[in-house]
């Protein structure tokens, strides 16, 4: 049943990098609720202080403010750690097209620093965030591991490089690495602000403010929107996966497919708003359709997502109504 019954050895200690971000803060909360120790690492470049404030007084939580681009910070953060959940990265395809050098530095060098620190600290499992963007221009659906196309953005390339290093670190150094290819994750604490905000929180906020949202393209692009609870499950189950499953990447999604225009209609209906969207130009580097085959993650990690889109979006809307 999901991840609530997952058991780790007593006294297990987790490091969550990017712990003040959307996915990172949810992982921190889930692990603390399970009764284990967590160290968070973040430099607040994209994460938000309010995402971690509620944990600061928790006896099992410690927070380190620092940057994964600094190897010494990574080494200190990994001291005494059993499991690393590396979520620290800069997201957004369009932003990466504007800032390729920065993405190289944070997403590739930073992740490599973390793998190196984990290796030297004798960490048991290194689980890291990859992305469905690594499929690039491969047109077939559903997306299946081992069948990738040419990447379409610097962001996608950084994630592909993370996977290559993950493979090498397992093979050369015996560090058990697991790459999780997230497909359009959504849910509580996802930031609705800014030009690069994810589409669901952005639409919700604009509709609540009676603003007209912009849909890039014709709205007929489809995504395998994945609720945050499924992602928490995948991270924790990867920590218990066998060494045979290490050095590989896995699709983490629900395995469904939603069209953007349908989601928009669903949100206007749920929020009781009658606002027509504005249709803008398509975004450079975007993939038109994405839908995941999750059979490999099910088989190798025991991943069994319980939250479909409908159930997840209800929870997300409820959270934003209370917190926006």
Catalytic residue IDs: 155
At 234, list the tokens: 């995948």
| Cα–Cα distance measured from residue 20 to residue 52, given in angstroms and rounded to the nearest whole number | 6
The long-range contacts involving 9-14, CB below 8 angstroms and separated by at least 24 positions, are: 9/82, 11/37, 12/36, 12/37, 12/82, 12/83, 13/37, 13/38, 13/39, 13/80, 13/81, 13/82, 13/83, 14/38, 14/39, 14/81, 14/82, 14/83, 14/84, 14/85, 14/239
Spell out the residues 6+ positions from residue 81 whose beta carbon is closer than 8 angstroms to its own: 13, 14, 15, 39, 118, 121, 123
Task: Measure the CA–CA gap between 122 and 83, rounded to whole angstroms.
Answer: 10
């Amino acid at each position: 049943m999901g991840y609530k019954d997952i058991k780790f050895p007593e006294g297990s200690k987790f490091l969550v990098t990017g712990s003040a971000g959307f996915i990172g803060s949810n992982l921190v909360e889930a692990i603390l609720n399970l009764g284990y120790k967590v160290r968070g690492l973040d430099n607040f470049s994209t994460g938000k202080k309010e995402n971690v404030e509620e944990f600061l007084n928790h006896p099992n939580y410690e927070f380190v403010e620092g940057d994964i681009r600094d190897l010494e910070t990574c080494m200190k953060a990994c001291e005494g750690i059993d499991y690393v959940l590396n979520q620290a990265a800069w997201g957004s395809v369009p932003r990466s097209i504007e800032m390729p050098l920065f993405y190289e530095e944070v997403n590739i060098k930073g992740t490599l620093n973390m793998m190196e620190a984990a290796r030297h600290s004798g960490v048991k499992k290194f689980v890291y965030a990859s992305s469905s963007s690594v499929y690039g221009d491969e047109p077939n659906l559903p997306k299946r591991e081992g069948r990738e196309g040419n990447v379409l953005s610097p962001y996608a390339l950084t994630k592909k490089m993370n996977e290559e290093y993950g493979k090498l670190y397992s093979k050369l150094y015996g560090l058990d690495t697991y790459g999780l290819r997230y497909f359009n994750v959504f849910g509580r604490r996802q930031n609705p602000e800014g030009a690069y905000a994810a589409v669901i929180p952005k639409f919700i906020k604009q509709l609540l403010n009676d603003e007209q949202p912009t849909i890039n393209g014709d709205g007929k692009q489809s995504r395998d929107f994945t609720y945050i609870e499924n992602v928490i499950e995948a991270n924790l189950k990867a920590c218990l996966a066998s060494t045979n499953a290490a050095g590989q990447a896995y699709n983490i999604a629900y395995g469904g497919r939603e069209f953007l225009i349908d989601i928009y209609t669903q949100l206007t209906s749920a929020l009781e708003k009658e606002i027509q969207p504005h249709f803008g130009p398509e975004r450079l580097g975007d993939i038109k359709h994405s839908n995941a085959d999750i059979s490999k993650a099910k088989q190798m990690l025991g991943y069994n997502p319980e939250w479909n889109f409908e159930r997840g979006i209800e929870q997300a809307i409820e959270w934003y109504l209370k917190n926006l």
